[in-house]
Amino acid sequence: MDKVIWEKVQRILPSLSLRDQGQVYVDTSEFMNISYGDVIALNGRHFVVIRDEAERRFGMEDPKFWVKRCRDLETEELYILKLVFHEHFDQHIGSMTIRCFRSPEKESRILELVKNDVRFMQGVTLNDTANNPVRILEMIRGRSLDSVIEDIDVDHASYFQEYFPGILKKYIGACEAVLFLHDHGERHGDIRRDHIWIEHSTGRYRWIDFDYAYESTENPFGLDLFGLGNILLFITGQGVHTTHDLAALSQGLDDNLTPEDFSLLFPNRLVNLRKRFPYIPISLNRVLLRFSAGTDVFYESVEELLDDLKPCLKELGAA
């Protein structure tokens, strides 16, 4: 490692000894070999690796070896570097299996499209010497939407009255951001409640992770819409309400429920939330029911979803 670079690394990682000095990588193809203390050099910029990122889902930590948390050696700013990993895998949604691909090119394209649009994570792509498009992502200081909502420690009636209108308003903004992608021929591809980050300093909702790609279908935005429906259900219900949770309630609620009241894709997930929380307005509940097993009409565009959702916001007095 060059002496100047090593001195900068030491400034950022003072506990690193000369014996543990890492390597400088200009080709990131073998991302498994790149670890703590190594430097990734891209187009004149240098990033020292702090650690591999990990995703926490269902209480499990899933390491992502191709995603490195780094500091820019010159500015000392934190960044997430996403290295190229052409993974393909099956995604299970309810009883359905969907072939999914991880496309760095797609994510780079979207980063370019949403440059300076604060509704999305920001970043640039720099190619390494092997022509791998490495995405340099700015850190969003904040928390995921689901963790924020899970920490609101009030009963549902209070939540719905005090918090929900403001959350719905921002969610609608997030839907408009997805519509922007669709209008430009792109799909988010992995719309989940932990892929909206709420920025601490501004309270903005910002979409992250755009690298999932799927085969074309006759309803190209179906998966994104499905994701938006799931998030709407989550924010309206202040969490997910399953048959298991409902069985624990001693309100005779079960007698009143039919299979049509549950999710089209997850038969144990209650969608007809008005049966659980009668103060949810009919107009909003009707939107939810479009994602239920009982529906005969599906949303085909985010525009259709927004057309139904915006009046709900007015009804809640938060427009």
103 belongs to the binding site for another protein (CB under 8 A): yes
Pull the structure tokens for residue 259. Answer: 């299979």
- Applying CB under 8 A, among 17, 43, 129, 219 the residue interacting with another protein is 219
- Least separation in angstroms between CB 215 and another protein: 5
Pull the structure tokens for residue 33. Answer: 């070999």
57 belongs to the binding site for another protein (CB under 8 A): no
- Applying CB under 8 A, among 226, 234, 236, 285 the residue interacting with another protein is 226
Angle between helix 302-315 and helix 164-183 axes, rounded to 10 deg: 160
Closer Cβ to another protein, 264 or 316, answer by number: 264
> Which segment (25-33, 149-157, 222-230, 272-280) binds another protein by CB under 8 A?
222-230
- Footprint on residues 8-37 left by another protein (CB under 8 A): none
Contacts of 152 (CB under 8 A, 6+ apart): 159, 163, 238
Cβ contact 135:81 at 8 Å:
yes
Cβ contact 48:13 at 8 Å:
yes
**How far is residue 31's CA from residue 211's CA, in Å, rounded to a whole number?**
17
Pattern 242-281, binding to another protein, x per CB under 8 A? ----------------------xx----------------
**How far is residue 287's CA from residue 299's CA, in Å, rounded to a whole number?**
9
- Applying CB under 8 A, among 18, 218, 250, 251 the residue interacting with another protein is 218
Closer Cβ to another protein, 147 or 295, answer by number: 295
293 belongs to the binding site for another protein (CB under 8 A): yes
113 belongs to the binding site for another protein (CB under 8 A): no
**How far is residue 146's CA from residue 227's CA, in Å, rounded to a whole number?**
13
188 belongs to the binding site for another protein (CB under 8 A): no
- Applying CB under 8 A, among 105, 112, 150, 254 the residue interacting with another protein is 105
192 belongs to the binding site for another protein (CB under 8 A): no
- Applying CB under 8 A, among 6, 101, 163, 277 the residue interacting with another protein is 101
214 belongs to the binding site for another protein (CB under 8 A): yes
Provide φ and ψ at 143, rounded to 5°: -135, 160
Between the two ends of the chain, the Cα-to-Cα distance in Å is: 57
- Footprint on residues 298-317 left by another protein (CB under 8 A): 298, 300-301
204 belongs to the binding site for another protein (CB under 8 A): no
3-state secondary structure of 248: coil
**How far is residue 291's CA from residue 283's CA, in Å, rounded to a whole number?**
14
173 belongs to the binding site for another protein (CB under 8 A): no
Local structure of residue 271 (DSSP, 8 states): -
Amino acid at 138: E
Local structure of residue 65 (DSSP, 8 states): E
Residues that bind another protein (CB under 8 A): 86, 88, 93-96, 98-99, 101, 103, 105-106, 182, 185-187, 213-223, 226, 264-265, 293, 295, 298, 300-301
